[in-house]
Amino acid sequence: MKQLFNGGKDESAPDFIRIGEVTSINPAAHTARVTFDDDDGVTSAELPLIVPNTIANSDYAMPDIGQDALCVFLSTGKEQGFIIGSFYAGEVTPPASSADIRKVKFSDGTVIEYDRGAHKLTADVKGDIEITATGKVDVTASGNITLSSGGSITIAASGALNLQSGSGGSWTGGGSINIGGD
């Protein structure tokens, strides 16, 4: 991977742009240290990671140890700089190959993908999903909606529970159904 710019350093680029490998992370401070193979294995100070937002809206993601990092340094030296991000090179390939796809793949196998060409959002989550809203939640589809579970499905309401259909319906299931009220 380091062959991208002559062993990690582009000779035509100023010294303030460097490519290295993340060797430690500090999640609480949102910083990481980067080692530069082109400079006899010198390791940077803790460098902040560049993110799109930090005040009213905020973003958070940490790099993996061993991940390549593109760094930029202030003119004062290697102690003051930032990790701009990472890049795909060599055996590290992108998780998608379409300009229409935005995809995030996590190390546990969870994948969140939006395909703007197909107008489809896919979330394949390897664990629980929790959605909390302080207001109402509306789910509307121009097609069918299917709920399927390998276990029970519970619907709880502190107010009224209304089921409406424009063309009738049916109930199929084993066991019993209990409907009660005041």
The residue ranges of every structural domain in the chain are: 2-85, 94-132
Which pLDDT tens digit goes with each residue over 144-179?
A: 999 999 998 888 888 888 888 888 788 777 777 777
Residues 6+ apart with CB under 8 A from 173: none
From residue 50, give the alpha-carbon distance in Å to each of 69, 72, 84, 163: 11, 10, 5, 48
> pLDDT higher for 64 or 40?
64
Residue 123: its H or E element = strand 120-124
| DSSP character at residue 173 | -
Q: Summarize the confidence of residues 61-89 as an average pLDDT.
A: 91
| DSSP character at residue 5 | G
Which pLDDT tens digit goes with each residue over 102-156?
A: 999 999 999 999 999 999 999 999 999 999 999 999 999 999 999 999 998 888 8
In angstroms, rounded to a whole number, what is the distance separating the alpha carbons of residues 114 and 22? 29
- Residue 18: Cβ within 10 Å count: 24
What pLDDT does 11 receive? 56
In angstroms, rounded to a whole number, what is the distance separating the alpha carbons of residues 150 and 175? 16
Options 2.60.40.10, 2.40.50.230, 1.20.1330.10, 3.40.50.620; which CATH number does 2-85 get? 2.40.50.230
In angstroms, rounded to a whole number, what is the distance separating the alpha carbons of residues 53 and 55? 6
Q: Summarize the confidence of residues 75-94 as an average pLDDT.
A: 89
Please give the model's pTM, rounded to 2 decimal places: 0.74
Which pLDDT tens digit goes with each residue over 10-63?
A: 555 557 899 999 999 999 999 999 999 886 889 999 999 999 999 999 999 999
Please say if the pLDDT value at position 2 is more than 80. Answer: no
In angstroms, rounded to a whole number, what is the distance separating the alpha carbons of residues 28 and 86? 20
Q: What is the residue-wise DSSP string for 130-156?
A: ----SS------SS------SS-----
What pLDDT does 179 receive? 76
